[in-house]
A and B are shown apart, each in its own frame.
Chain A
Amino acid sequence: MGNFGRDASRRHVLGGLAGMAAFGTASGGRAAPSGQPVRVGGTLSLTGPLAQTAGIHKIAAEISVEEINARDGFLGRPVEWILLDDQSKPEVCRSLYEKLITVDKVDLIMGPYATSPILAAMGVAQRYGKLFIQNSMGIPRLANYELQIPATPFGSEPNKSYPKVVFDAVAGTKNPPKTVAILTSKFPSAQFMAEGTRDVAKERGLNVLMYLEYEFGARDFGAIAARVKDANPDFLWVGSLGLESNMLLEALKKLDYVPKHHFHLYPAPGPLAMSPDGKNALASTFLEPDEPFLSRPGVKRLADLYKDRATRMNLPYKELDAQAAGMFSQWQILEQGVNGSKSLDDRTIATWLKKNGATTIYNKMRFDGPFNHGDPAQLVKQNQGNNWKVVWPKEFAAPGVSLVSP
């Protein structure tokens, strides 16, 4: 997290100004975009096992396109988003990107979400030299395509940078942990982070009492919970996805065990926030609909628009969260790249973005580091009163909010 607050270079300021303009209120007195639409194609997993979260991305993308068209579009032309359903299948995802590029002949493409579809689509983008912006590639080193732009600030080595943030967060409490238990789903990006966490824990002199991997999709956490109870760590780190954290905490509760500090990597935000077992749970985030984030230009508007749309769509969790923010960020990067470079040429846009960066819902982002990542900006949030509040680093904590220690 050492790069937080780094002085921005001149080119980043320029990029930021472009971004500020993009964030302004919708119309801003400009003429409506006109002419032949700029067609941007992409897929989401609207059906299949990944469909649970597709609604989040779809709403965020729809709002983004509406906002862009309410401003100046791309180069004064309206933006048309061509969305296809990749059915949560990487092979279908690959072929649909080929369709978008070689049959529909879209001007630009937009990346899908989740590691497997992203990698399937990125291969196509690479073969056709297309700019490829994605927001949920949790293992940056796999995204080694030069025109790939990450829209979420994981940093190039989140397995090293983020564990430090998490351990810093709990180290500052009144009961800093001395022992840690690490559980992780055998899901590539979760396992990647868990291994990094284990290494960082050892480097910091923490005693790693257990490191246990369970199969992705596990439902029965009874045996794992028993081992956690036996180990009784000061800090339980869980590389969970979706509802796995809820199930683990329920299993621990049946054993009359309440973990002390406990952290969850990618939990389903709504269910864990609403669960009594999730009290004081820590989790990863990049942004929450709270201060200081709402003071960033345009963020409050996007958060309100998102909440309204998510409520109408009856999504289970209606607040702006990291996934929706990732999709907003993708479109903000594309808008600034196109309008900043004044081009629809993929390489030209990518070059401009690498040179100038972009100002997104995540604040200023750079794309000139390894794997086109800039500074990491992964934060720690805590479930306080059934709401997620950013608690670390302190400068991102909501006013009056601090990490509650067990």
Chain B
Amino acid sequence: MRAQTGLAGAVAAAGALGLALLPMAGMPAFYDSFLYLVFFWISLATSWAILSGFAGYFSFGHAAFFGAGMYTTANLAAKHDVPLLATIPLAGLVAAALGVGIGAVVFRLKRLRGELFALLTLAVTFIVATVILNTPIDGGSGVFLSNVPVPKIVASQSGSIYVLGFVLCAATMVIAWWVAHSRLGMGLAAIHDDEDVAETKGVPTFRYKLAALALSAGIAGAVGGVHAVYVGFLTVGDTFGIAVPLYVVLMSVLGGARHWLGPAIGAIAIGTSLYAFTGGDMAMIGRAIVAFVLIVAILVLPDGVVPAVQAWLKRRRGAISTAPVVVAAVPPVPRMAAPDENAPVALTIRDVAKSFGGLQALRGVTLDVRKGEILGLVGPNGSGKTTLINMITGHFPLTSGTIALGDAAIGALPAHRIARLGVARTYQIPRPFAHLSALDNVALSAVFGGAATSIAAARADAGCWLSFAGLGGKAAALPAELNLHERKFLEFARALAAKPKLLLLDEVLSGLNPSEIDRAIELIRGIRAEGTTIVFVEHLMRAVVELSDRVAVLNEGTLLALGAPREIMRDPRVVSVYLGKDHAA
């Protein structure tokens, strides 16, 4: 495998060197320009995908960053005689700064996701265009660059621009590859699938989105800097039109926006097709044919070319086991004694309240959880159990009260920092990252919630946790290929991979059959045996009584009762809450 990777790297390096030297081969200038334009579209589409493909923040605003770069170079080079090469990094910096400025505001607002984000980026383009049009940056008369000297990298001007375009394209591909294979890429992929879950798994979502936007915008700006001199005359209409955002979206979608190589494949296909029908007699029909082929390609390959090829290869290799999972028997774990009253407190909850508008979901809950304890958290539907879990994990901000993990106050921390401090949770309805394999779903928790030092180490850990959860044969499977029981155990595995100090289990047993429940109970005991403190939300009383050291009962947002399981089950207030007053009497 390593030899194959090395060979691929050597081939890529040789190919890159060959492409870099191509202008010296003396080919007609048209090919320099044609290939430059292909590089241009590869760079732009790939840079778009770093935010919009990887993180799923669909942007129509790429023209704003590209245009900011174009006008930076145009103004510096044409009006202030700054050497062209010096303007290109500045163009990238200006565009990146613009991206960071926008992201710093927009990414703080949860409601600005999906189509609202797309519309907002479109609006940003109009605003940037309006500012440039109505200031001396352009002023409406356009900026003329034909007299700006192009550095003589090779003999011809077209060859020199080719080299600049190639260098940017190569750098873009290296950056995209690096992002895709780094913690950043893994975090962005999680953000794409479920941003809230990503945050609770330890992904610093705000920072990562900002980094992705800065990279995306910065590359687009630098590409714009080179393109300004290629075009020679800038107008706001040409620069900030719909063509750039439309093409980069189309290219990325065609190639596969989530894969680092996908946008490049799409850009090569569409960039080349621009030249497929340039003859005067064929122009209209040719454009229609190209558009039709693209529509068909996108309909047939909705995830794009690269993912389709990957899926085909995966099927060919038979990577996914279609055999039912053999659920490994977990050896019985002896019941451990509950921690005594003097055991240190792992989790302190004081007067925690939460309101959603007029609805008071929690009304001042105070509760201590001892280190190494399994605390059952029960109560009727709507009593505030899941809300309390969400408060502990930082998913919702507190309305009032405090929460501390050990000695550290966590009530005001963002969810990803709470996760990093050692709090992990599962979801009542499993929420795996849909486009990550089972292995990567677990590895992500190890990377962001645990102490894994590298993705490779995290994957090795993840394999162990998958085996522990009985999913060893499903490492390559996507969550959609798992049944409910398997997804529940995947939730376990990824919670455990974070090696949490405190594990919050939200109705993990619902929907499981009796033998699966027995196995899960043994699994939870095994987890506690490792020293993990567990808060266990459950409706299934058999499991609550078997597992819990103490049980806390919530009702209408208040703590109704707290004590040993069998005592709590006999408490008339609890019986009344669950079964009605007649039974409590």
Q: Do A and B come from one complex?
A: yes
Interface centre among A44, A99, A126, A127, by most B CB within 10 Å? A99
Looking at A183-191, A367-375, A392-400, the stretch in contact with chain B turns out to be A183-191
Given contacts A46-B280, A89-B243, contact A98 B235 (CB under 8 A): no
**A213 at the binding interface (Cβ < 8 Å):** yes
User: Quick check: A84 and B278 within 8 Å, CB to CB?
Assistant: yes
> Are A191 and B33 within 8 A (Cβ)?
no
- What residues on A are CB-neighbors of B243 within 8 Å? 89
Residues of A within 8 A of B227 (CB): 91
- CB neighbours (8 Å) of A89 from chain B are 243
Judge whether B510 is part of the interface by a CB distance below 8 angstroms: no
With A85-B283, A116-B238: A142-B144 Cβ-Cβ less than 8 Å: yes
A223 → chain B closest CB, angstroms: 15
Q: Which residues of A contact B309 (CB under 8 A)?
A: none
Interface centre among B37, B141, B230 (most CB of A within 10 A): B141
Q: What residues on A are CB-neighbors of B426 within 8 Å?
A: none
Q: How far is the CB of B104 from chain A (nearest CB, A)?
A: 28
Neighbouring B residues of A215 by C-beta, 8 Å:
130, 133, 236
Which residues on B sit within 8 Å (CB–CB) of A49? 241
In-complex Cβ contact of A191 among B141, B146, B233, B277 (8 A): B141
Q: Which residues of chain A have C-beta atoms less than 8 A from B134's C-beta? A: 213
Given known A115-B233, A119-B232, A123-B232, contact A95–B33 (CB-CB < 8 A): yes
Q: Considering the complex, which residues of chain A in the window 190-236 have a beta carbon less than 8 Å from any beta carbon of chain B?
A: 191-192, 213, 215-217
Tell me if B284 is interfacial: C-beta within 8 Å of chain A.
yes
The A/B interface has a contact count, at CB < 8 Å, of: 115
Contacts A98-B158, A102-B28, A215-B130 known; A83 to B280 CB distance under 8 Å? yes
Q: Does A92 contact B (CB under 8 A)?
A: yes
| Alpha-carbon separation in the docked complex, A120 to B281 (Å) | 22
A37: which B residues are within 8 A, CB to CB? none
Among residues of A, the one whose C-beta sits closest to the C-beta of B138 is: A186
Instruction: Tell me the chain A residues, 83-107 only, with Cβ under 8 Å from chain B.
Output: 83-87, 89-92, 94-96, 98-99, 101-103
| Interface presence of B401 (CB below 8 A) | no
- A188–B33 contact, CB under 8 A? no
Highest count of chain A CB atoms <10 Å: which of B156, B157, B237, B284: B237
A187 proximity list for chain B (CB < 8 A): 140, 235, 237
User: Quick one: given A90-B233, A119-B232, A142-B233, are A188 and B30 in contact (CB under 8 Å)?
Assistant: no
> Which residues does chain A contribute within 8 Å of B584, judged by CB atoms?
none
Q: Is A275 an interface residue (CB 8 A)?
A: no
In angstroms, Cα B158 to Cα A117, docked, is: 17
A84 near B279 (CB under 8 angstroms)?
A: yes
The residue that A46 contacts in the complex, of B144, B233, B283, with Cβ under 8 A, is: B283
Could you say which of B29, B144, B278 contacts A119, with CB atoms under 8 Å apart? B144
* List of A residues within 8 angstroms of B279 by Cβ: 83-85
CB of B200, distance to nearest CB on chain A (Å): 45
- On whether the beta carbons of A90 and B231 are closer than 8 Å, the reply is yes
B237 adjacent to A87 (CB under 8 Å): no
B33 engages A94 (CB within 8 Å): yes
B412 CB–A CB distance under 8 Å: no
1/0 per residue B157-168: CB within 8 Å of A? Answer: 110000000000
Q: Which residues of B contact A87 (CB under 8 A)?
A: 274, 278, 283, 287
Chain A hits for B30, CB < 8 A? 95, 98-99, 101-103
Instruction: Chain B residues near A186: list those with CB within 8 A.
Output: 133, 140, 236
Cα–Cα, bound, A188→B40 (Å) = 26
Q: Which residue of A lies closest to B146 (CB)?
A: A123
Cβ-closest chain A residue relative to B126: A215
Question: Is A343 interfacial (CB 8 A cutoff)?
Answer: no
7 pairs of residues in contact across A and B, judged by CB atoms under 8 Å? A83-B281, A84-B279, A87-B278, A95-B275, A101-B29, A115-B235, A215-B133
16 new A-B contacts, CB < 8 A, other than A91-B230, A98-B29, A213-B140, are A83-B280, A83-B281, A84-B280, A91-B231, A95-B33, A96-B278, A103-B28, A116-B233, A120-B233, A123-B146, A123-B232, A127-B157, A186-B236, A187-B140, A187-B235, A187-B237
The 4 nearest A-B residue pairs measured at CB = A83-B280, A186-B140, A102-B28, A85-B283
Chain A residues in the interface with B (C-beta under 8 A):
44, 46-47, 49, 58, 82-87, 89-92, 94-96, 98-99, 101-103, 115-116, 119-120, 122-123, 126-127, 139, 142, 186-188, 191-192, 213, 215-217
